[in-house]
Structures are given as structure tokens and as C-alpha cells.
Structure 1
Amino acid sequence: MVGFRAVAVPFVVPGPSGVAVRTRLRVSAVEAGVLREVGGLLGSLASGDLAVRCRDGLAHDAECWAVRKRVLTGRSSSRWAGAITKATHDQWALARRGLAAHIRGLEAGIAVVRHRLSLPVGERGTKRAPGGYRSRREWHAKSRRLTVLVARRDRAVADWRSGRVRVVRGGKRLANTRHHLAEAQLTEEGWRGRWEAARMFLSADGETGKRYGNETMRITPDGHLSVKLPAPLAHLGNVPHGRFVLAEAVVFPYRGEEWVDRIAGNRAVAYTLHHDPDRNRWYVTASWQRKPAPTLPLDAALTAGCIGVDMNDDHLAAWHLDPHGNPMGEPHRFFYDLTGSASHREAQIRHALTRLLHWARGCGVRAIAVEDLDFSTEKTREKHGRRKRFRRLISRFPTGRLRARLVSMAAEHGLTVIAVDPAYTSRWGAQHWQKPLTTPRRKTTRHDAASIAVGRRALGHPVRRRTAPPPQHQSDAAGHRTVQARPDARGCDGIRPPATDRPPGGPSPNGSRKRRPSASTTVRDAPRTHQWVQDPLMHTG
């Protein structure tokens, strides 16, 4: 179609390949003190190792890695050294990916500014490209900003080519908060507690074949957690061989049976200890890898229809569609609030997805269709200019978090997630479905109509709804009357005569009427002895 981009083919999203469960640790004051000392010592070693890795840059090789590990082994143990060096490599790689994303964002902003500077002042833009700047003053300010963006891009590219990354253990935001304690409503002691907790290192990778899947940080099937202490702190151990065991048992309420089955077979399980200084609580996270569940083919997943979902910044709009793309029942909306802390936002998304999955299972479908959204190129402030509200909207849109959560949670409910191209779903959904589905008792929103468009695209049907009957008559003489049902599917558009009867307006098969008129035998004022029963074949479709 001229003027429209090609729409990508829907695909089945692969299932998750890892599991992570978290539970609270019940520790005494003495045990908490020991864990803080261990985490602080290992955190300082991790900070020094990260500094060495960042200095090496692209010149780092296997020999440098071995040297770093030998140095850390003398200060802790071989197992802690392996965990620290692996975490350092992961952190350096993450910083490299962040730098690449930063360069792409700068290049996108530079392209937009250059395009708008090349246009005459005051020229109106289109839906596909922004226009010129509104005044000479704004044009001059943006020309200066272009110079700043180019300089930033050049510095970032130079860092990328040299392998230099900038990492702050504990987080750059938390480090800057130290200079704005009043605005953050924190005391210096409160900030110091958060800073030390964020810079601790208490994470041990699992090892298949070792006892209970981990030698460094081990949890037995009955819940006893023991930690292998580094060499400088071996005197703090309360059991032989330099280990420290917690008194209270660890219980995993969620996936506990799967975890027990895994450690009973001595398969690898990684553990990480966290400290929440605000509530003064300790948590442990157990994680392991597993083989991804086999994904159903697209046709097999859509045999019972699907649930079309339109993602928004404050709710999920969903509608149940049958295999032919027809909406069934009423639309459903699952709201969430993305204001507040990160934990609050995470809980809101999780609760909304839980309600969505429970409703989908009740509908009997096996697939959920969602949009494959990506706003990475839309978040630059140069793209939308003064539209600060819209930029804020797309910046807080939880596309990645919703996708990751939905895929992992849907796999546990036996549901398949299908990703579709989001092109024109809102526009075409509102054009073809919003008005026909609006009734005095049901107000169909634009988002509800978009969910139908998403579901129909996943099912392989066009977004537009069925066409009206031909203007000449109510038969199929002018062509097939619907566009969503297959030709071999008999619809129920209305009362249809039996297959042996004549078509409307046509001659009888035998050339005569089925029943000739006869004289009435009805006796006036006589009691009715039977009732009229319509032929049930008249309703078959």
C-alpha cells in the first residue's frame, strides 16, 4: 500500500530460560554484623577488580583475567575470586552496551536537529517528519545545541573505540544524592547505609556436581544457609572449615519444590544476599537456568482464538477474539499505577499481568497477542520538541518490563505470547471497530479497538471488520460478504433457509410451490389444540 510501511509477520516469543526466587532471611544482630563485614570486604575487592578491568579496556585477555583472579584468591578464596571476576566482566559488558545505546541516542538527536535546521523557519511538519523551527531565536539556539550534541557524540565514540567505560559501583544516582540530602529527605547516616548496602558483594555462582549445587554459599534441603568466609575473616566462622551458618532456616514459599528437586540432584544454583537498610531486612535470591519450554507453532497456539492486548501507560486493554477474529464478550481493562518507588511500580505491573493471565485462562485460549513496542528512538527530546508531556509519557512506558514479566508469567500458566507489529493498530482499530462496538451500555475506547486490531493481526486476518452486504440485495451475488471468515466456514448472519429450498426471489426447485393454498378449516371460537413450532432447520447456519 502506497504511503504505509510494510507490516512484519507475527511470531511466537520464546519462553524464559532462567528462574529466580527470593525470600526473607531471619538473622540476629550478630549474624547481620558478620554478613556486613563479609559483604564489605568482598565489595572492596570487587571495586578494585572493576577498576583494573576498566583500565585494561580492549587490551584485556585471558592472561590478564588469570592474573586478576590470582590476586583476588590470595585475599579471599578461589571461589570468591571466580565470582568477583565474572561479575566484573558482566558489569563491564553492560557498561559497553549502555555506551552504545547512548551513542545511538545522540546520533538520532543530531539527525533530527540537522533536518529541522535545513528547513525554512516556520515550515509545518508532517506526521512522519517534524517541520522547521518556529522562530529565528529557536533556530539559533538549536544550532548551538547541535554543536554540543556533536561534541558529546565524538567523545562517546572515542571512548567506545578505546574501550573506556564509566561505572560507579553502587549507582551514579545514589552517589549524586549525597550532595542533595535535603531534597532526597535523607540524613547522612541514612544515605551512608544505602551506599554501603549497594556496594556490598555477596553473590556466589552455582556449580553442577558440587554438594547442593553451590560450595561457596550453600543452602541445605532443610533450609540451613552457610557461607564460606574469605581468608581474612575465617576467624568469624561458627562451624569447621571456615564456614558461617545462620540459625534460622530458609524457606522458599514460591517454587520451593522445584528448588529442592534441583539441589537434591546437585545441580547448579546461584545465590545472592541483599540488605535493605530502610527496613533493616536481609533477603536471599536463588537463581538457576533451565531448558526453555518448547514453544507451540503459531497455528497450533491460535486454534482456540487469542487475547488481544493493547499496552498503555496506565492500563492494559484486552479483548477475547475467536479463531475468525470476531470479538467475544466485553472488553477488559487491567489498570496499574507507575508512580512511586521502583518496587511499587514492579508490584503494580505484576498484579495487572496476574489478573490478565487468570482471565485468559478462564476464556480457554492458549495465546496472548501483544505489540512488539520499542521507543528507543522516540525518547530523544529533539524528536518531539516542546511536547514534554508526550516525551515523559513514552519515557515511563514500561515496554521492556512488561514484555519480560509477561513472557515469564505466561509460561507458568501454559500460555503462549505472540508479538505483532504495532504499526497502525490504534488508528485502524479506532477506524473500523470503535464505533460499531459502542452501545448505550458499553463505551468502547480507542484502546479497546486497538486490542482487537492486535488480536486480528496475530490471527492472520486484516484489521478491518467485515464489509456491509452488497447494495443490490442481501445475497452473495456481488461477492463474498465477509472478509474475516474463511470461505468454508458457514456463518450465522441471519435466518437461512434449508439447502433444498429456493433462494430468495428464485424459482422453486420443482417449478411449483411447496404447498398449495387450501380452504381454511379453522373453526371460530374453538379452543387452540396445538402451538406453532418453527422448523429448527430455519436457524441452522
Structure 2
Amino acid sequence: MGGSLRARKGLRPIAAPFTVAAPAGARIRDRLRLSVGDIEVLTAVGGHLGVLARADLAERIRIGDVTAAHNGRAERKKRLTAVASSRWAGAMTRTSEDQYRLSLRSLRDQRAGLRHAIAAIRRRLAVGCGQRQGRVRGYADQEERWHKQRRLQVLTARLARVEYRIKQGRPAIVVGGRRLVKARHHLADAELTEQQWRRQWEARRLFLTADGETGAPFGNYTITVDPGDSSVTIVLPEPLRHLANAPRGRYRLAGSVRFHHRREQWLDRVQAHRAVRYDIAQDPARDRWYLDASWSADTSALPSTEQLAASGARLLGVDLNADHLAACVIDACGNPIGEPVTIPTELAGPAAQRDGRLRQAISDLIRIARQHGCAGIAIENLGFDDARNIGRESMGRGRRGKAFRRTVAGIPTARFRERLRGMACHRGLVVIAVDPAYTSKWGGQNWHRPLQQQAKQSTATRHHAAAVAIARRAFGHALRRRPGVTVRHQRMAVRRATGQAVSLPKVQGAARPPRTVGTSHEGGKTCRGPGGQLAQLPAPKTVRGAPGPRPGPDHGDPANAGDFA
């Protein structure tokens, strides 16, 4: 649909599909089996460095939103080196800068969301109760309007506070998590005792992060993992050097790690002495310690959507829903292949179980894509940012509206996108994101019935039709089907062939009669036999008293123009 026609019909413009970038790095984890002495040393080191890191973060916030040349990182690192070490100080100042920049981005996103919500409420308040102006509908009654006016005041006050923080360049950062801080006053609702809460709070405020350095022994001098014997050693801060049990102020842990997942990639880096970052974390609920290794990945050029379409590869279109994934395989011409697939997600329960079920669903998608020889997976570029901000104004009201908003909020859009991007990249698949506009509506109108006719062993739903529309948009094809172009049985269907590249204009005025067997052929078509899909003459009507039909050839005999001369 052209831009002018789309504007006349009130449809928003469709963004072009794009290839999702590959993950910028990798992160693996292994358990640390520590002794009692190791736990005491790690707790002392993490607590000491945590106090220094929080002080440095507070100082960075006081400096405000300035450029990197004026944030005073060199001076702060010099002061921290005297009470820790140069590498610990570098990691702390780098972490403070990252936290500060991330908080500022979150504030700006919150400001944008508040502005959208305020604008939506003001548009509806400008319309009288029960009235409608264009596409803007007023509130149902005076009571709902009064509640929305109060909400507008609350959002306006919240927006003023956010804008003040952005202007001052001082975001509010809670080291350990704001949710855990609020749980301290509601321990019964959080199902925690005061001792359990205290253990979680202290564990989250430990600082045991060491940045990697290319050229250092095994990629990291502060926390070193020897690939030969899997031993782990850390550099102790200056005030805790008396706890060292290894040369040069180092402490060697009794436990060891092996990193079974992606071990070959990790070995390639540490044996080449390339930079690897390590993080030591504590899980108080399980009473376990973990060591995380992370590194940046090498950038590689991914094929564009035009290159995929030109190569003739297949795509797996996926429609993400609250409780399942609907998928369908599409060839390069935009035709569905095989049976539509439904993968349940069941994203309920604890966070660990939800993440595991989501990973299993993505693994099933990748397996299906590889079985059908697909080059990539097409998904919708969902964010639901505006929907979450102005959901009360645009997603209905009452019990049904609340249930629908809860369904939208339960769809794991960001987590699904990040998990799929990482897992598909490591299996050699490309992820293509498309504009989600009208995929469900146009897919259901144009592809639901053909999918149901094609499916033999499963039931096609409108979500599968949306998956077809998503994959077609990734290839650059239109979402709508022209009637009369394609049918289920092309050899047995009685129809006249139509051009698939352009639409033929309708005949104006008197209708043109169908071409019969005896009519001379027009155009460049060479076949004039019965297989030319020509319309037969209608059977003559028998009228009482009228002469019989004119003798002519039998129904099965070939006919030509000379027989009717």
C-alpha cells in the first residue's frame, strides 16, 4: 500500500525490517565450592571493596552529567589505589560510570513514558463525557473523569521530579536494589525473615568484579583462573594483605572451576592471554558461590534482509503470545510450507523456572528452523513501552481492559528477544525484526483460511496466520493476498489465469462476454487447446414450439471457427 493511500486510510507508516545485531559478548558461569576460610576471606574482601565502590559512586553522582574528560575518574582512581590496588580501583570507577549512565537513560525513558501518559489523558479530558471527536473518545461518566483528573495531577508531579533530577544530573541509585529495600518494611509479604533479608542485602552489596586485561596472565591479573589445574587466585586489597596464602599478596581458593559451557571459547581466550572479566557472586538462598566469566565477542557482518531474499532461503516466522509461540515456515516467495507449529511457554512460577521454560521454547524454535533449512527467524519488534505507559487509556476499561493489560504486561518481549538473539547466533541463524503493525489483522484476514486448508495434522489459528505475515514482511512481500491469483489445487481449479505482477483494471461500461471455444485468441498465449482454461458455451435452452438446435460437433470433439461458418 502506497504512502498516500495509507495516510488517507489513517494507517501508520510501516518501518523497514532489519537484521538484529549479534550479541556483543558472552557470559558463562560455574559454581565455586569453597571452604569456610575461603568464604570468610571473600566476604571480607567484598565488603571492603563494596564500601569503596559505593563511596566512589556517590562522588560520581555529585559531579553530575559531564563529559568523560571532566568526570574526575583519574583523581578518583588514584585515591582508591591507595586503599585497594590499581586494578581494583579501575574496575570500581568503571562500574560507577556505567551505573551512572544507565540510571540517566532510565530517567529519560521514564520521562518519555510520563509525557505520553499525560498527553493521552489530556486528549481524552478535552472531550466531553460519552462523546467522541474523531478517534478520541471521552470518558464514560463524570466519576471516571474525576479519577483521571487526579491521576493527571499525580503524573504531572512525578514528571516534575524526574525532570528536576535530569536537570541536576543526579539520579537515585540504590546499590543492592530498590525492590529489596522496600521489602525490608514488608517482610511478611516478601516471605522473608529479618535475618534472611539481611543476608541478601549484604550479599548484593559485595564488590568482587575484576576487569580483564589483554596481555595479563590468562587474561586477568586481579582474578586469575589457571586452565591447567582450574585453580582460582585473587589479589587482596592493601589493608587485607595479611590474609594472603600465595606470593605477591594473592589468595588461592580451595575450590576450582572448569566452565563446561563454552569451555573451548574460554580456553582459546585465556591461553592466548586475551582479556576476560570475572565476577564472584553469592546466592544466600542456596548458600552457594559462583564465578562468572565474560568477554567481548568479535564483530561479524550479518546478511541483510535483501540478501536473504535474493538467496532463496527460508524463514521461520514466530508470533509471540502470552502463553505460547506460534510459528510457520515460509519460503523465499512468501508461501507457507509444512504444518504450523505451536510451542507452549507456561511462563508462571519462580523466575528461574520461567527463564528455563523460555529457553526451552527458544531451543524448540531453533530445532524446527534447522530441520526445515531456514536461514533465520523473523519476529516482531515488540517493545510495548507506549502500551505500558498509556495502557489504561488505550486498552479498554473495566475487568476486560484490566485482564488485557495484564496479558500484555506478561508477554516477555525483551527477555525473549535477547535470549533468541544469543541462542540463534550461536547456531548460525539470523534474527530479523519487523514492524508489528497490522500483522495479526491482515494475517488473519488473508492467511488463516489457506493455512487451515493446508494443515493436515494440526489446527491453524490466527496466531499462525500472523506468523506468516511476519515472515512475509521480513522478505519484503505484501501481507495481503490478491483474490484469484492462487488457489489450493491449481491444476484442478477452474479459473482464468490473472497477472500476478500488476492488477488489471476493471472493464468500464458493458460487461465483456467470456471468451468461448470458437472465439479467436488474443494476446501472446500460444496454447489454444482445451487446456487453455476457456469458458464453454452454455447449454441451449429448449423452448416449446421452437426448432431444435443447430447440428454441430459433439461435446468432446475439437472445434474451430469453420464449424460455425
With normalisation by structure 2, the TM-score equals 0.82
Match of 2:474 among 458, 473, 484: 458
Q: Quick one: distance in 1 between partners of 2:484 and 2:385? A: 41
- For 1:42-121, what aligned pairs fall within 5 Å after superposition? 42-58=49-65, 62=70, 64-121=72-129
> How much has 1:147 moved relative to structure 2?
2.0
Q: 1:286 to 1:125 in 2, by over 3 A?
A: farther
Q: Quick one: distance in 1 between partners of 2:500 and 2:305? A: 27
Match of 1:310 among 315, 319, 343: 319
> How much has 1:466 moved relative to structure 2?
5.1
Q: 1:125 to 1:379 in 2, by over 3 A?
A: farther
Deviations 1:197-252 (A, max 9, x none): 11111111101111111111111112111110111111111111111112232111
What is the one-letter code of the residue matched to 1:164? R
Q: Quick one: distance in 2 between partners of 1:132 and 1:48? A: 51
Match of 1:504 among 516, 530, 550: 530
Aligned match of 1:325 = 334
Q: Quick one: distance in 1 between partners of 2:502 and 2:226? A: 61
Aligned match of 1:41 = 48
Q: SS of the counterpart of 2:255?
A: coil
Q: Quick one: distance in 1 between partners of 2:138 and 2:36? A: 64
What is the one-letter code of the residue matched to 2:337? M
The answer to whether the 8 Å contact 1:206/1:213 transfers is yes
Q: Quick one: distance in 2 between partners of 1:182 and 1:506? A: 80
The answer to whether the 8 Å contact 1:470/1:481 transfers is no
Q: 1:503 to 1:117 in 2, by over 3 A?
A: same
Aligned match of 1:446 = 462
Q: SS of the counterpart of 2:29?
A: strand
> How much has 1:457 moved relative to structure 2?
1.2
- For 1:83-482, what aligned pairs fall within 5 Å after superposition? 83-123=91-131, 129-222=135-228, 223-302=230-309, 303-380=312-389, 381-383=391-393, 384=395, 385-386=397-398, 387-438=401-452, 442-465=458-481, 467-468=483-484, 474-476=495-497, 479-480=498-499
The answer to whether the 8 Å contact 1:112/1:382 transfers is no
Q: 1:138 to 1:24 in 2, by over 3 A?
A: same
Deviations 1:374-393 (A, max 9, x none): 21111025433542222222
Which range moves more in the overlay, 222-231 or 54-63?
A: 54-63
Which range moves more in the overlay, 37-46 or 379-388?
A: 379-388
The answer to whether the 8 Å contact 2:216/2:273 transfers is yes
Q: Quick one: distance in 1 between partners of 2:472 and 2:12? A: 18
Q: 1:452 to 1:482 in 2, by over 3 A?
A: farther
Q: 1:481 to 1:442 in 2, by over 3 A?
A: farther
Which range moves more in the overlay, 197-206 or 298-307?
A: 298-307
The answer to whether the 8 Å contact 1:319/1:330 transfers is yes
Deviations 1:144-183 (A, max 9, x none): 3222221221221111011011011000000111111111
Deviations 1:96-138 (A, max 9, x none): 0111111111101110110111001012588xx5511111122
Q: SS of the counterpart of 1:121?
A: coil
The answer to whether the 8 Å contact 2:128/2:138 transfers is yes
Q: CA RMSD in A?
A: 2.7
Which range moves more in the overlay, 291-300 or 245-254?
A: 291-300
Q: 1:272 to 1:130 in 2, by over 3 A?
A: farther
The answer to whether the 8 Å contact 1:468/1:481 transfers is no
Q: 1:469 to 1:395 in 2, by over 3 A?
A: closer
Q: 1:474 to 1:266 in 2, by over 3 A?
A: same
> How much has 1:64 moved relative to structure 2?
2.4
Deviations 1:248-276 (A, max 9, x none): 32111111111111111111000001110
Q: Quick one: distance in 2 between partners of 1:468 and 1:65? A: 69
With normalisation by structure 1, the TM-score equals 0.86
Number of aligned residue pairs: 495
What is the one-letter code of the residue matched to 1:390? F
What is the one-letter code of the residue matched to 2:108? A
Which range moves more in the overlay, 209-218 or 60-69?
A: 60-69
Moved beyond 3 Å, runs of 4+:
59-63, 439-442, 469-473, 481-484, 499-503
Aligned-pair identity (%): 44
Aligned match of 1:12 = 19
> How much has 1:91 moved relative to structure 2?
0.6
What is the one-letter code of the residue matched to 1:243? R
Q: SS of the counterpart of 2:254?
A: coil
What is the one-letter code of the residue matched to 2:474? A
The answer to whether the 8 Å contact 1:27/1:247 transfers is yes
What is the one-letter code of the residue matched to 1:480? G
What is the one-letter code of the residue matched to 1:435? R
> How much has 1:516 moved relative to structure 2?
9.9
Q: Quick one: distance in 2 between partners of 1:469 and 1:147? A: 56
> How much has 1:73 moved relative to structure 2?
1.2
Q: Quick one: distance in 2 between partners of 1:131 and 1:422? A: 24
Unaligned runs of 5+ in 2: 488-492, 504-524, 534-555, 559-565
Which range moves more in the overlay, 339-348 or 12-21?
A: 339-348
Q: Quick one: distance in 2 between partners of 1:328 and 1:261? A: 41
What is the one-letter code of the residue matched to 1:153? L
